[in-house]
A and B are shown apart, each in its own frame.
Chain A
Amino acid sequence: MKTDDLVAMLASEADEVRPGTAQRRFGLAMMVGLPLSALLMMATLGLNPDLAEVTRQGMFWVKLGLPLALAGISLYAILRIARPGVRAPAAPWMIVAALMSIWLLALVVLVQAAPAERPGLLFGETWVACPLSILFLSLPMFAAAIWALRGLAPTSPPLAGATAGLLAGGTGAFVYALHCPEMAAPFIGSWYVLGMALPAAIGALIGRLVLRW
């Protein structure tokens, strides 16, 4: 087929297109992914029984805030990099700032604590379950975000996959924080961060395979 014929063929297919496709797809993905993740947490792990009481502690809000910030940054970035020719140059720096904040807080807590207390602040009681549970709870949002991306056109599939994974990890960690009894900044700075990094790494690998167009 000649290129001119292809052009004529495509040109007659000029359907009207509503702007905001990326926003609509990710809006839908969030509306499905977040409640499913919450449902999964309630069904398998359960809410923290002391939830009402811990909301009065500042650390609880830090524990919710870190995943929320990372999910927010990922959402901002993914709405951009899902479209050709749009970059999100500020996003890596925002992620670094969020991580530096929690690590700085963790460092201050560790330095101020008595040496015998330090392992407890870092490992708590649940350091093995934490990253794995976050990975588990990130699955609904992970699937939803990959679905959303498959209808868009990311020009770097691994980067888009990793960003989708971080969005899912942030969502999963946010939901997990409503179950998790841990309250120490060193714990959050290690195991929450690891739990969110796992789906991001998996997303980079999967993105390479399923996000090409």
Chain B
Amino acid sequence: MRGMNGIGSKAAEGESRLHALMVASLGGDAGAYHALLDALSGHLRAFFRRRLAALPDELEDLVQETLLAVHNQRHTYEPEQPLTAWVHGIARYKLIDLYRRRATREALTDVLDEEMEVFASQDHEAMDAKRDVGRLLEQLPDRHRLPIQYVKLDGLSVAEAAQKSGMSESAVKVGVHRGLKALAALIKGEP
């Protein structure tokens, strides 16, 4: 039973700090959003590592896939809901999805209830992702790939990206948005 209270209070602390970041990011605060995703990637890595003992190679891929899902589903978060429950719901869904794809039966029961644990620990030692999201990006059609490449990776402004790609500014914005969804779908479709 050692450390149970420790886990509880650390998790509660994480909840209130990350909840504030989430609420700010939903209001359009990119700095808060960056801090949130950073913290979440550490929490998710620690959360998944304990549950992927049999599939260690999958860890970083799953962290990335879950971060992308967090991003694509952020409109399903309501501020009155505990962020812990929302993130745990997504993480658990992605983990079970992976188990199903791999047809392993690794301690499914272990995943089910320990909601509080998601924010209890962090792990910032990223291993190399086996799946290269950058390579997947190349499979997207130009109307999705170019906006993401120019705006997200090269750091151009939307106006510059529009000029460079010959697309309208709104098409660039839509392209980034849709492209990230398409990327998530590609990841899901990968065996």
Using a CB–CB cutoff of 8 Å, the interface residues on chain A facing chain B are 1-17, 19-22, 82-86, 152-153, 155, 212-213
Contacts and interface: CB of A to CB of B under 8 A. Distances in A.
Given A9-B148, A9-B153, A17-B26, A3 B64 contact: yes
A128 to B, nearest CB: 40
Interface in B43-85: 60, 63-64, 67-69, 71-79, 81-82, 84-85
Contacts of B60: 3
Nearest to B135: A1
Given A7-B34, A84-B90, A21 B76 contact: yes
A8 B188 CA distance: 21
B73 A7 contact: no
Given A17-B75, A83-B81, A155-B92, A4 B152 contact: no
A13 B26 CA distance: 11
A6 B64 CA distance: 7
Q: How many B residues touch the partner, as a band?
A: 35 or more
A151 to B, nearest CB: 8
B88 interface: yes
Given A11-B34, A155-B90, A2 B129 contact: yes
B45 to A, nearest CB: 8
Nearest to A11: B34
Interface string B23-50: 0011111101110011001000000000
Interface of A is mostly: loop
Interface string B1-43: 0000000000000000000000001111110111001100100
B190 interface: no
A8 B148 CA distance: 12
Contacts of B184: 213
Contacts of A82: 76
A7 B93 CA distance: 20
Contact of B28 (A7, A9, A16, A19): A16
Interface of B is mostly: helix
Contact of A19 (B34, B79, B82, B129): B79
A9 B152 contact: yes
B30 A11 contact: yes
Given A3-B67, A13-B180, A153-B93, 4 more contacts: A10-B37, A14-B30, A19-B79, A84-B76
A15 B74 CA distance: 10
Given A3-B64, A153-B73, A85 B89 contact: yes
B140 interface: no
B167 interface: no
Nearest to B91: A84
A85 B81 contact: yes
Given A3-B60, A13-B152, A152-B76, A8 B34 contact: yes
13 contacts: A1-B129, A1-B132, A3-B41, A3-B126, A6-B64, A14-B28, A82-B76, A83-B76, A84-B86, A84-B87, A84-B89, A85-B81, A85-B115
